[in-house]
Structure 1
Amino acid sequence: MSIIYEKHDLYPESILIRKFIGKVSLNDIIDSWEYLLVNKLTNKKTKGVINDLSDCELTMDMENFKTLINYLKKKDCFKEIKLAVITGSPQTMIFPFLGEEHEKELKIKPFSTMEAAVNWISMDL
């Protein structure tokens, strides 16, 4: 598993992209959020993070999903930004969909394209 972190070309101050590659577990996702925090890859200017899962195999179940949501809700910084999730897989799409529908403290939304995710985040710019 590897993660590529990059700033968006048009919105480098506002949008951070995380591209997951390979097999990805709950611990990988939480570790990558911690990496963002420790290395200060997000700040007050960050409006959203795009989590691109289109080239990975997500190994997650409902218990893992609940653990991830609880982790995100404990960090106030994640409540302030939009969390876009790109995936084409129905098995993976269910998790950001449930986050969008049931976790109103967080701004989570599933997408099938990068363009749609960027448009959603950039609406507030």
Structure 2
Amino acid sequence: MGKMCPINTAKFRFEFDSSTGILFKYYYGPITIDDLTGSWDYAIENKLIPATVKGFILDYREAYFRLSSTDREEIPRYYKRRLNVFGSRKIAILTLNPKDIVVPILVRRQDSGYHSQPFSTLEAAICWILGEIPGS
């Protein structure tokens, strides 16, 4: 039996905007690799990701990363193992902390089967997912 990690739902929250087709995932406080993968597993198991989802906005403005270099490498591997959920979809990572911007930049370099991009404004992230800005 695999390692069981308790899920702290106080560290994340999901909201689906049916008008845009975007699933928002809000994070709070220190975030580890177990928080990242466990929260996605929670969403998948509890069917919180509609089949009609166009993309994801991961909002880290009230959180910060606690990730090792190995943990950072696990993020794109996780997405690639779940292309049934993330495949051909856009993942916008929203953060204001200059220290944390390196994580989505490194993840983006390993994108395969999905697309990710860091942003500092919610408006730009939404426009990118909806294809309303150049390079989207």
The TM-score range, normalised by the shorter chain, is: 0.7 to 0.9
Which residue is 1:21 aligned to? Answer: 28
- Return the letter of the residue paired with 2:72: F
Aligned-residue sequence identity (percent) comes to 27
Look up the match of 1:51: 58
1:60 aligns to what? 67
Report SS of the residue matched to 1:52: strand
Which AA in structure 2 matches 1:27?
Answer: D
Alignment: residue pair count: 122
Query: Aligned partners of 2:109, 2:60: CA distance in 1, in Å?
Result: 19
- The match for 1:37 is 44
Separation in 2, partners of 1:97, 1:8: 26
> Residues 73-112 of structure 1, C-alpha deviation per residue, up to 9 Å, x if partnerless?
1111212311110001122111111222332433010000
Name the residue aligned to 1:106.
114
Q: Distance in 1 between matches of 2:42 and 2:110?
A: 26
Contact map agreement 2:76 2:110 (CA 8 A) in 1: no
1:40, CA displacement in angstroms? 1.5
Which ranges in structure 1 are unaligned for 5 or more consecutive residues? none
Report the CA distance between 1:9 and its aligned residue.
6.9
Structure 2: stretches of 5+ with no match in the other structure: 1-9
Q: Distance in 2 between matches of 1:51 and 1:59?
A: 16
Taking structure 1 as the reference length, what is the TM-score of the superposition?
Answer: 0.88
What is the CA–CA distance in structure 2 between the aligned matches of 1:114 and 1:48, rounded to whole Å? Answer: 13
Q: Which has the larger radius of gyration?
A: 2
* C-alpha RMSD over aligned residues: 1.7
Give the TM-score of the pair, scaled to structure 2.
Answer: 0.81
Instruction: Give me the whole-angstrom Cα distance separating, in 2, the residues matched to 1:19 and 1:105.
Output: 23
Aligned 8 A contact 2:27 2:58 in 1: yes
Structure with more helix by fraction: 1
